Structure 1
Amino acid sequence: MINKSKIESCRPICKELKIFTVICSFIFETLCLFRKYNIYQVRNSNFHGYDTRRKDDFYIFQCNTSLYEKSVVNMSIRLHNSLPSELKVLGDFKKFKRALKSFLLYNPFYSLSEFFTYGQ
């Protein structure tokens, strides 16, 4: 299609052509679903009477089964908590969606673990 060898990385190509990787597409759709429908509202500040570093993040309940650990709700909470802070604070859904799309197009991720460790 664009005359690249099989062993070359697709990251620069994804950036150049402005297309999502499969993982970025999953992240985008999951976070849009999470933000649009306000699936979950329990924050860490609900459990502490004092300020903590992650007080504005959503609380992740303990997972006793792998089914719940891989569920859309749990995964969307983990994905949202891993976002950069400038994306988390966007209140308007359209602005959030636009900013998330540009973030994911600029940073093509190949795995969820790569996304979770971004910025740490």
Structure 2
Amino acid sequence: MAALTQHAHALEARHGLTVHADLRAEPDLDPDAQAAAYRVAQEALHNVVKHARAAQVWLSLSQTGDMVTLHVRDDGRGFDPGAQGRGTLGQRSMRERASGAGGTLVVDSAPGQGSAVTLTLPRGRA
């Protein structure tokens, strides 16, 4: 996920965010799942910049057993996910990417509490 590390550094430089990145070894994902993980992270980080008014973002990628988990959390203003029905176009896009790669996406937020996006994908190479 070298591209994700570069993206995080660019966000820091361009938008003055502090990005706490914990991106260990390259995850054991097939190319489609790896692309989905990158695109979901990219969209989640874009949402932080565009909507959250956050000062800090935590970005992590971990592999446990048969699962790879991508977690993006911010200290921004948060929102009420239930008030958006099925979510914004960006959220729907992230959910579709997760589903298409055999994974799940959870968006957790509350007004004044920041937001967290968690993508879980099955590991393994095609």
More strand by share: 2
- Check whether TM > 0.5: no
Q: Look at both structures and tell me which one has the larger radius of gyration over its CA atoms.
A: 1
Provide TM-score, normalisation by structure 2.
Answer: 0.28
Higher relative contact order (CA 8 A, sep 6+): 1
More helix by share: 1
Provide TM-score, normalisation by structure 1.
Answer: 0.29
